[in-house]
Amino acid sequence: MSEVKVGIIGLGNMGTSHANQIFKGNVQGAVLTAVCDERPERVDWAYETFGSDVQVFSSLDDFFDNENIDAVIIATPHYDHPKLAIKAFESGLHVLSEKPAGVYTKNVRQMNEAAEKSGKVFSMMFNQRTNPLYQKVRELISSGELGEIKRTNWIITNWYRSQSYYDSGGWRATWAGEGGGVMINQSPHQLDLWQWTTGLMPTRVRAFSGFGKYHDIEVEDDVTAYVEYENGATGLFVTSTGEAPGTNRFEVAGDRGKLVVEDNKLTFWRLRQSEREFNREYKGGFGEPECWKIDIPVHGKSTEHIGILRNWVDAILHGADLLAPGEEGIKSLAISNAVYLSSWTDDWVDMPIDEDLYYDKLQEKIKESKYEKPEVEQVTLDVSGTH
């Protein structure tokens, strides 16, 4: 194979952006051959924009029946990701799915099984893994520089959204349409990086969510999650779409100091001696280990969505290692599911979660939903500069 024929399902905000990138030739080795969207206005837009070079479908069956695709980008609402990925794997296609992996881990697990069975290349649009800052955090932790982790603390409240954002699509911020709010739509990137950089998955979760706290929506727009890890470390994850200007500050404390990512900088306060060792050996009462504040050099730039697109195509064509293997999408989703379960039950949730319980609770939410969106025009928003 010298080039990958790519089809895209879903021409919403993200799918439209990916389609444009590939169509313009910005992803070497990839050619856009087909798009699919059931909405007439998006079909019209695709015809107008791509002309006869790209097949435009409004039916999924027709899209999957056509022979002219090797690989599929799934950019539909969240619920459909696993179902469509499974269909794609069964059709022998490579898959790149938008985040989150899905809404509940039960069918994401099935998706992962289908991926494994197919042997196809499966990636997830965790574009923030292309950010060299977080790659460096991961490297400093996995190489042992930070030592055993004691605490993680991510304040990621800079996902500000106004009511008009929520009103821009009927599916947005509903249990039936999205399956959640800030945890399922905005924060999956950080939920992914939280476990990817540290290599730690929580063993239990206690979370507190505000549902429709700052907006006229039924899902959560404000979350505080406390977690515990197997090694005894604890963690916090705080997110909201109701604060402006918000904060994005990720701190990881370890036995050899602490790392902080904030304002696009990575700072390492490095202890010359292990704290645990100092604690045992020091006899002076007040005092602490010598500490060096280090501005960690970070090279390269965040290649974002196009970086993931290129990596996926490179993996298909040349067997490159995936930066964001699709199978890993279940990790951040499992944390997210646990946060909902804990908030709903007002109790601890052990991980791995009870997948059936989560699924059932979510169905209840959908069933009990009395939420009716005000009459709004569905619009495709320009996502330049967003995630």
Binding stretches for a second copy (CB under 8 A): 150-151, 153, 155, 157, 160-165, 168, 206, 208, 210, 213-215, 222, 224, 226, 228, 232, 234, 236, 238, 240, 242-247, 249, 251, 253, 257-258, 260, 269, 271, 275, 278-280, 282-289, 291, 379, 381-383, 386
Nearer to a second copy, 125 or 223 (CB): 223
Nearer to a second copy, 263 or 321 (CB): 263
Nearer to a second copy, 158 or 369 (CB): 158
First to last CA, the chain: 31
Residue 68: exposure state from Cβ atoms within 10 A (0-12, 13-18, ≥19): exposed
* Shortest Cβ 18–a second copy spacing (Å): 18
* Shortest Cβ 147–a second copy spacing (Å): 11
- Phi first, then psi, for residue 229 (nearest 5°) are -110, 165
The structure tokens listed for 244 are 């402006």
Nearer to a second copy, 39 or 387 (CB): 387
CA distance 32 to 24: 9
Nearer to a second copy, 154 or 312 (CB): 154
* Shortest Cβ 330–a second copy spacing (Å): 26
CA distance 208 to 343: 5
CA distance 385 to 387: 7
CA distance 210 to 190: 19
Nearer to a second copy, 242 or 325 (CB): 242
Check: CB of residue 221 under 8 Å from CB of residue 181.
Answer: yes
The structure tokens listed for 108 are 């994401």
| 103 three-class SS | coil
* Shortest Cβ 285–a second copy spacing (Å): 5
Nearer to a second copy, 117 or 272 (CB): 272
* Shortest Cβ 370–a second copy spacing (Å): 21
Nearer to a second copy, 216 or 368 (CB): 216
CA distance 72 to 5: 9
212: number of Cβ within 10 Å: 16
Report which of 308, 322, 381 is spatially closest to residue 22, judged by C-alpha positions: 308
* Shortest Cβ 53–a second copy spacing (Å): 30
* Shortest Cβ 249–a second copy spacing (Å): 8
Residue 94 identity: H
* Shortest Cβ 215–a second copy spacing (Å): 7
CA distance 345 to 207: 10
Check: CB of residue 213 under 8 Å from CB of residue 205.
Answer: no
Within a 13 Å sphere around the CA of 382, how many CA atoms are in the beta-carbon half?
2
